[in-house]
Chains A and B, each alone.
Chain A
Amino acid sequence: DAGVIQSPRHEVTEMGQEVTLRCKPISGHDYLFWYRQTMMRGLELLIYFNNNVPIDDSGMPEDRFSAKMPNASFSTLKIQPSEPRDSAVYFCASSGEPGVPYEQYFGPGTRLTVT
């Protein structure tokens, strides 16, 4: 398997613009997680899905952030409008490997810079 795939790998945008991050989980995994990582706050869970249904979005910082999972192989995280404080690395992870519950596998991340 190719692992978790994320795109783009880098995104530079201006304040106020819409940003969409994409994720393809490992085939067969039924959980998908979106994280944000900064030096100051570490790794923060934003939202996670089970079988395409959002389970917990309490980590989403504000209404400017939204996430969708239209099918088992694709999810998006959207920021609209973006602000400089949204600059971070955003990771997608998936889990659900039979026999090894809770083990999460991370994608390479998207480094977002908002100027």
Chain B
Amino acid sequence: QKEVEQNSGPLSVPEGAIASLNCTYSDRGSQSFFWYRQYSGKSPELIMSIYSNGDKEDGRFTAQLNKASQYVSLLIRDSQPSDSATYLCAVHSGGYQKVTFGTGTKLQVIP
């Protein structure tokens, strides 16, 4: 079982719709969760961090965490073509500052 799992996609949504990206993790003791956005040919860019159960909103982005279900998601409201990228979920499970990355979900926003 992979430590951090994501559907590779591609996930296609029309412009203006809500994109929902999901991630599950195996270590129940995980405490810190991150979403990175990676455009083609570029490096991963941190866009959201979440540490507590519930929702965290930042502009058009909302991260949702459910530790009981070992599930973290990223919602992108009013999706734009510029949101088209691969979204990586990352989880920190204690100890040093190493995090484990999922393989990413490719999002395509169709104009």
Contact = CB atoms under 8 A, between A and B. Distances in A.
B88 A96 contact: no
Nearest to B6: A42
Nearest to B92: A102
- Chain A interface size, under 10 / 10 to 19 / 20 to 34 / 35 or more: 20 to 34
Given A42-B103, A42-B104, A43-B88, A106 B98 contact: no
- Chain B interface size, under 10 / 10 to 19 / 20 to 34 / 35 or more: 20 to 34
Contacts of B88: 43
B97 A105 contact: no
Contact of B97 (A102, A108, A109): A102
Contacts of A109: 42-43
A91, A101, A104 — most chain B CB neighbours (10 Å): A104
Given A100-B49, A102-B32, A105-B46, A50 B104 contact: no
Given A42-B103, A42-B104, A43-B88, A101 B97 contact: yes
B45 A50 contact: no
A67 to B, nearest CB: 15
Contacts of A108: 42-43
A59 B3 CA distance: 15
Nearest to A91: B43
B25 interface: no
B42 to A, nearest CB: 7
Contacts of B45: 106
Contacts of B87: none
24 contacts: A33-B98, A43-B101, A43-B103, A45-B100, A48-B97, A50-B97, A56-B96, A91-B43, A100-B49, A101-B92, A101-B97, A102-B32, A102-B92, A102-B97, A102-B99, A103-B46, A104-B34, A104-B46, A105-B46, A106-B43, A106-B44, A108-B43, A109-B42, A109-B43
